A and B are shown apart, each in its own frame.
Chain A
């Protein structure tokens, strides 16, 4: 996946002089995850460069550059390191089009490696998607596969709207086929990764792989699981997701971030509004615990696992399992 992201930036830099890649350590080092490896060497330090260590500065100057005709692609290095830039993102990046009645467009991409599962220390493993999806004016996307990493990033760079591009860092080393023909699914559509008839697992980013593994494991339980990869968290593709849930009648939303006021709550509410008469069971969520991201040796208890998702699916009012009015996994 890291290679696909690198190829997406290289192709975008080659295609358009207005594209710039900058941030902390993205130059000669190639980024702490090597996602920008070789880009400054190939395109020069005018196009790909290191900035001072200052996230608000990176986003704030990117806003100015975009105002003046450029297309910055910036890196926040780690999820929680983006918080110093929160004001620039929410008050200016998201709103400039609206504040100026469409006169100023900000085609800025903010790449944020996010999520846990890599044994990182504190402030390196947050899933901060709800902050950004709650902010009108931003697009928020996250790839679950290497192919999507390439195409979503190319689409994000081409987008006239600012895009928060969440990179599931535990999947950086995932392998997969990438077709570079640019005829992939549009950026704001969800895709069905696996078809099934009994229950829909709704996942995104790092949890797509976990959901696919769960679907395989569920075969033993006799459940035929459909997996939907959201890809775009904002805007949300109601059509694709609701069609799947109407078909299966059951749904579980999975994400790493804490559940309370989390992104899964929005998904569950939207689907309840749209699919109520098709549901055989309440829509359930499997999420991270409602705690600050834990120390590396405890993170396995916090993050959704295949077992926890299977346990939750068992509560979906199957014919032989009475529903106990619990909405969360064990």
Chain B
């Protein structure tokens, strides 16, 4: 009996992260990834600039007390944008709490994206409108949902693929392993993108994982796995696009580990200086994904000052719309007290009708 029907080399990731552009934006020769076309690269650039501006705007909103909390994804724009642009309209995105930039890249309204973090409702958008699942706060639970959605899509004869985003810490959770196993056994059209940003809040990779890489975790589940440079937008787009096309064609799941770095702290409530030193952050600032793409596009003559200014203006306008939306009327997103009872069950139970009446009386008393 042979151990596996798949040759091991088909499952094995590379020893070091592969990419298309080096840290200075120079094309890497002989990469096994396919370089995206110029239109895609320009689109990635534009969306990364807008995404970063959104991220800094949201961070600023926490300082003004407009947001209760914001987990920044600054430095991870290549993953956030590259992965989403690689999806088609019929595909599903399963984001985590850190993936707000991925949401706005997908086209979710920025104010609705921030509802969860604002303390209004848990979710501001309709998950079916753009096929974006609710952002996952408990780690790794969304991986199973993505496998289920993908399985149902195939059952119904749809050709949609589910992309699930998770972090390095989430790979330690049991659900990640159950999801990889189910996806491998069922051969669901699911793409797992691990954004390895170095830290699970404060716990570094060295205390999280003993495997050669997180991508190696795919081998045991029979899932082809890739280790890529997560600060290279061309590489993220190319790897995710390839995995999505493979899944759509019936080739089953792929695991991609994208090595990147979280420039800001875990959230605005975290003090990152307690667990990492400034030299490390400075080194990663030198590997900025946006600078890298700009350098490449400028060198190719695809990005000139006029386009750069146009993109910057678009980002400013976007940030202004976020500010305006967040400042306009916070009350409208903090819902009516009676709506507390609206979505517990399909219909209110007798007990909830009783409690609704009690609340009604309390509110009337307050007004009197």
Give chain A's interface residues, CB within 8 Å of chain B.
Answer: 20, 46, 51-52, 54, 56-57, 59-70, 84, 87-88, 91-92, 96-105, 136-137, 139, 159-161, 188, 235-236, 238-239
Docked-complex contact B138 and A91, CB < 8 angstroms: yes
Docked-complex contact A136 and B152, CB < 8 angstroms: no
- Please, how many angstroms separate the alpha-carbon atoms of A188 and B350 in the complex? 10
Instruction: Choose among A54, A68, A102 the residue with the greatest number of B CB atoms under 10 Å from its CB.
Output: A68
| B296 contacts partner chain A, Cβ-Cβ < 8 Å | no
- Please, how many angstroms separate the alpha-carbon atoms of A297 and B151 in the complex? 44
CB-CB under 8 A from A96, the residues of chain B are 134
Instruction: Choose among B138, B143, B151, B179 the residue with the greatest number of A CB atoms under 10 Å from its CB.
Output: B151
Docked-complex contact B349 and A60, CB < 8 angstroms: no
Q: How far is the CB of A61 from chain B (nearest CB, A)?
A: 4
The one of A68, A99, A105, A236 that contacts B149, using a Cβ cutoff of 8 Å: A68
CB-CB under 8 A from B346, the residues of chain A are 97, 105, 159-161
The one of A46, A68, A91, A137 that contacts B152, using a Cβ cutoff of 8 Å: A68
With A51-B182, A100-B127: A68-B153 Cβ-Cβ less than 8 Å: yes
Docked-complex contact B178 and A54, CB < 8 angstroms: yes
Interface SS majority for chain B: helix
Docked-complex contact A102 and B343, CB < 8 angstroms: yes
Docked-complex contact B345 and A64, CB < 8 angstroms: no
Docked-complex contact A70 and B350, CB < 8 angstroms: no
CB-CB under 8 A from B141, the residues of chain A are 60, 87-88, 91-92
CB-CB under 8 A from B351, the residues of chain A are 235-236, 238
- Please, how many angstroms separate the alpha-carbon atoms of A62 and B156 in the complex? 15
Chain B 327-368 interface residues, beta-carbon cutoff 8 Å to A: 342-346, 349-351
- Please, how many angstroms separate the alpha-carbon atoms of A52 and B179 in the complex? 10
With A54-B182, A61-B144: A67-B149 Cβ-Cβ less than 8 Å: yes
Q: How far is the CB of B332 from chain A (nearest CB, A)?
A: 14
Bitwise interface map of B from 120 to 152 toward A, beta carbon under 8 Å scored 1, else 0: 011100111000011000100101111111111
Q: How far is the CB of B248 from chain A (nearest CB, A)?
A: 16
Docked-complex contact A136 and B344, CB < 8 angstroms: yes
Docked-complex contact B345 and A137, CB < 8 angstroms: yes
- Please, how many angstroms separate the alpha-carbon atoms of A56 and B181 in the complex? 12
Docked-complex contact B123 and A101, CB < 8 angstroms: yes
Given contacts A46-B155, A65-B149, 4 further A-B contacts (CB under 8 A): A56-B174, A57-B144, A61-B144, A64-B149
CB-CB under 8 A from A70, the residues of chain B are 152, 155-156
| B175 contacts partner chain A, Cβ-Cβ < 8 Å | yes
In the A-B complex, the 6 residue pairs with the closest CB atoms: A64-B148, A60-B144, A57-B178, A68-B152, A61-B148, A235-B349
Docked-complex contact B148 and A87, CB < 8 angstroms: no
Docked-complex contact B122 and A98, CB < 8 angstroms: yes
| B281 contacts partner chain A, Cβ-Cβ < 8 Å | no
Q: How far is the CB of B240 from chain A (nearest CB, A)?
A: 20
Docked-complex contact B128 and A103, CB < 8 angstroms: yes
Count of chain B residues near A, Cβ 8 A: 39
- Please, how many angstroms separate the alpha-carbon atoms of A214 and B344 in the complex? 38
CB-CB under 8 A from A235, the residues of chain B are 345, 349-351
- Please, how many angstroms separate the alpha-carbon atoms of A54 and B140 in the complex? 15
Docked-complex contact A61 and B181, CB < 8 angstroms: no
The one of B123, B149, B179, B345 that contacts A57, using a Cβ cutoff of 8 Å: B179
With A235-B351, A236-B351: A60-B123 Cβ-Cβ less than 8 Å: no
With A54-B182, A57-B181, A101-B123: A65-B152 Cβ-Cβ less than 8 Å: yes
- Please, how many angstroms separate the alpha-carbon atoms of A61 and B162 in the complex? 12
CB-CB under 8 A from B28, the residues of chain A are none
| B27 contacts partner chain A, Cβ-Cβ < 8 Å | no
Q: List 6 A-B contacts (CB under 8 A).
A: A54-B181, A66-B148, A68-B148, A68-B152, A70-B155, A98-B344
CB-CB under 8 A from B156, the residues of chain A are 68-70
Instruction: Choose among B133, B179, B344 the residue with the greatest number of A CB atoms under 10 Å from its CB.
Output: B344
- Please, how many angstroms separate the alpha-carbon atoms of A177 and B155 in the complex? 37
CB-CB under 8 A from B123, the residues of chain A are 99-101, 103
Q: How far is the CB of A69 from chain B (nearest CB, A)?
A: 6
CB-CB under 8 A from A62, the residues of chain B are 148
The one of B121, B145, B181, B349 that contacts A64, using a Cβ cutoff of 8 Å: B145
Q: How far is the CB of B136 from chain A (nearest CB, A)?
A: 9
Docked-complex contact A60 and B145, CB < 8 angstroms: yes
The one of B133, B178, B345 that contacts A97, using a Cβ cutoff of 8 Å: B345
CB-CB nearest in chain B for A57:
B178
Q: How far is the CB of A65 from chain B (nearest CB, A)?
A: 4
| B269 contacts partner chain A, Cβ-Cβ < 8 Å | no
CB-CB under 8 A from B153, the residues of chain A are 68
- Please, how many angstroms separate the alpha-carbon atoms of A91 and B121 in the complex? 16
CB-CB under 8 A from A59, the residues of chain B are 144
- Please, how many angstroms separate the alpha-carbon atoms of A198 and B121 in the complex? 50
- Please, how many angstroms separate the alpha-carbon atoms of A61 and B351 in the complex? 31
With A56-B175, A102-B342, A103-B128: A238-B350 Cβ-Cβ less than 8 Å: yes
CB-CB nearest in chain A for B339:
A101
Docked-complex contact B145 and A63, CB < 8 angstroms: yes
